[in-house]
Amino acid sequence: MARISQILSERELYWVEKDQTVAEVAGRMAELRVGAILVLENGRLCGIFSERDLLRRVVVEGRDPGALLVGDVMTPNPAAIEESATADEAIAVMHAHNCRHLPVLREDKVVQMVSMRDLMHFDLDRKAEEIRHMRDYIHGGTR
């Protein structure tokens, strides 16, 4: 079974500070084309801000994103997973916590974030590779 560290490619870690406005953070998320972003305070993970947070805690409540700090509407103390965990373990944690993004830790320090989409793409790629091997075996054995 693949480990999270094997699934995630080397990519930049995106994050914002707790005292930034929701408007700033939403703009950054749009620029990066991400649905969630880590929120840090003095370099330590304190939350995640997602499109779901924006919708439920800002838009629906009619709050001003330009005046509201992301630390006031983020999901605090998010579930996280060690980079040595398996993809199945990550999916189980996401299911248990009803989330689609997990901070990935190495010795209590955030090193990445894994999404349900990352896990789905990895699984689809793995299955496509298995199908290719099966076709090669079947066609190779009948020639």
Residues 68-98 have pLDDT tens digits of 999 999 999 999 999 999 999 999 999 999 9
Please measure the distance between the N-terminal and C-terminal CA atoms of the chain and give it in whole angstroms. Answer: 33
Q: Spell out the CATH class of 4-141.
A: alpha beta
Separation between Cα atoms, residue 123 and residue 36, nearest integer Å? 21
Separation between Cα atoms, residue 95 and residue 101, nearest integer Å? 11
Q: Are 21 and 65 in contact (CB under 8 A)?
A: yes
Per the model's pLDDT, the better-predicted residue between 46 and 124 turns out to be 46
Per the model's pLDDT, the better-predicted residue between 58 and 13 turns out to be 58
> Average pLDDT of 51-59?
97
Confidence category of residue 141, pLDDT binned at 50, 70, 90: low
Q: Domain residue spans in the chain? A: 4-141
Q: Are 40 and 16 in contact (CB under 8 A)?
A: yes
Nearest CA among 121, 94, 105 for reference residue 44? 105
Whole-model pTM: value is 0.82
- Is the confidence at residue 127, as pLDDT, over 90? no
In the chain, % of residues over pLDDT 70? 97
| Structure tokens that stand for 135 in this block | 């076709």
Nearest CA among 45, 116, 115 for reference residue 74? 45
